[in-house]
Amino acid sequence: MKTHLNTLFVTTDGSYLAKDGLAVAVRVENETKLRIPLHNLDGIVCFGRVGFSSALAGACAEAGVTLSLLTPNGKFLASVVGYTPGNVLLRRQQYRAADDPVATIQIAKNVVLGKIANSRSVLLRAARDQKSEEVAQRLRQVAKGMAGTLNLIRESPDLDSVRGYEGESASRYFSTFNELVSVPDFEFAKRSRRPPLDAMNALMSFIYALVMHDARSACEATGLDSAVGFLHRDRSGRPGLALDLMEEFRPFFADRLALSLVNRRQVSAAGFETAESGAVRMDDKTRKTVLVAYQTRKQDEIEHPFLGEKVSIGMLIHLQARLLARHLRGDLDQYPPFIWK
C-alpha cells in the first residue's frame, strides 16, 4: 500500500494531457508545464475544458490511475477506468450483500452512525472553542439530540427508517452550521446544491466533489464495484458505494476544511460570483487555493480508531474501503465506520 496517494488536479482551461513514456505530460499551448510518472499518482482530476489523448487514457486504466472529468465548479461528469481490479469473488460477495436486506441495512446503519457521530464531534469541538456560552449551549443541545438519534438508528427495522433519521440529523446539524462561520460574507442559511445558492454552499459542494473522486478511486483500487451501494441504492450513473463511503468524511474532512478556509480568511467572498440563474461559483484563483488546502490536509496524520495506527488523512477512505471488503469476505463481523475522536 502506498504511504500517501497523490492526485493531480488540472485547472488551467485549454490544458492537454498526453502520455510521455511512463509519465503524464501537462501541456498548455504546446508547451510542457509538468511531467509526472504515472506510478506516483492515484488519480487525475480535470476541471473544465481539459483534453487528453487516448494513449494516456489507456495508460491510466492499465496503471490503476482514475482519470476524472469535472465541470469548473466541481460537478462530476465522468471517469475513465479500465477493467475493475480485484478478486471477482469479492465483487460477487458485494452483490449478494446488496441483495440481502439484513446485510444491507447493517452496513447502511454503520455508515450513517459514523456520519452522525462525526457531525456531533464537529459541533462539540466548536462548542468548546466558542466565546459565547449561549451559542456553545445551543451547539451542545443539538449534539445531545443527535446522540439520541444514534440509538434510534441502531434499533431501526428498515432502510427507510435509517434514511429518515439520517435526514433528521442532517437538518439539525445544518441548523447550527452558521454558528460555526465567523465571517459575515459567508453566512449560511441552509444547505443548497444543484446549484449552490451562496458562497459557503459552493465551497462545500466543490470539496464534496473532491472527496467523491477519492471515494470512487478507493472502491476501484480495492476491487469493489463503486456503483453498488448499501445506503445509496442502485441508480443508473450513480456511484452508490462511493457515496456511502464519503458520508463519514463529509463532516470530519469536507465541512471542517471549508470552515477552516473561511474562518482563517484563506478564501474571500470576492472569489465567488453569482450567475444569472442564481448559481454561485468560485473563480480560478479561489479554486486553486482550495485544491492546495485539500491536498495539504490529506497529508496530515491521524490515528485510525479501529486499526490503532497513525495514517495520513488521504489514506483513510482507502482503508475504509478495505475494511468494508474484509467484512464482505467474512473476516469482520461488521463494517467498522470511521469515527473521529
Write the pLDDT tens digit of every residue in 81-113.
Answer: 776 655 788 899 999 999 999 999 999 999 999
- Pair 186, 309 in one domain: yes
Mind listing the pLDDT tens digit for each residue in 106-158?
Answer: 999 999 999 999 999 999 998 888 878 888 899 999 989 888 899 899 988 88
Residues 196/223, Cβ–Cβ less than 8 Å: no
- Pair 51, 109 in one domain: no
Higher pLDDT, residue 8 or 97: 97
Omega of the bond leading into 195 within 30 degrees of 0 (cis): yes
- Pair 34, 155 in one domain: no
- CB burial string 278-317: b at 16+ within 10 A, e below: ebbbbeeebbebbbebbbebbeeeeebeeeeeebbbbbbb
Answer yes or no: is 223 within a domain: yes
Domain boundary residue, one of 28, 47, 80 = 80
Average pLDDT value for residue range 189-214 = 87
Answer yes or no: is 72 within a domain: yes
Give 85-110 as a DSSP string. -S-HHHHHHHHHHHH-HHHHHHHHHH
Average pLDDT value for residue range 41-66 = 87
- Name 11's Cβ contacts closer than 8 Å, sequence gap at least 6: 47, 48, 284, 287, 288, 291
Q: Which residue type, as a one-letter code, is found at position 116?
A: I
- CB burial string 1-34: b at 16+ within 10 A, e below: eeeebbbbbbbbeebbbbbbeebbbbbeeeeeee
Residue 187 pLDDT level (bands cut at 50, 70, 90): confident
CA atoms of 273 and 295, how far apart (whole Å): 24
Cα distances (Å, whole numbers) of residue 261 to 165, 170, 173, 258, 267: 30, 22, 19, 5, 6
User: Would you say the pTM of this structure is higher than 0.85?
Assistant: no
Average pLDDT value for residue range 46-71 = 87
- Pair 157, 248 in one domain: yes
- Pair 54, 147 in one domain: no
Range of the domain at 42: 7-80
∠ at Cα 12 (11, 13), nearest 5°? 110
- DSSP code at position 333: S
- Pair 323, 201 in one domain: yes
Average pLDDT value for residue range 192-220 = 87
- Pair 42, 152 in one domain: no
What pLDDT is attached to residue 84? 61
Question: 239-242 long-range contacts, Cβ below 8 Å, gap at least 24?
Answer: 239/212, 239/215, 241/94, 242/212, 242/215, 242/216, 242/218
**HSE on the CB side for 283, CA within 13 Å?**
9
Domain containing residue 247: CATH number: 1.20.120.920
Q: How many structural domains compose the chain? A: 2
What pLDDT is attached to residue 2? 36
Domain boundary residue, one of 43, 60, 80 = 80
**HSE on the CB side for 163, CA within 13 Å?**
9
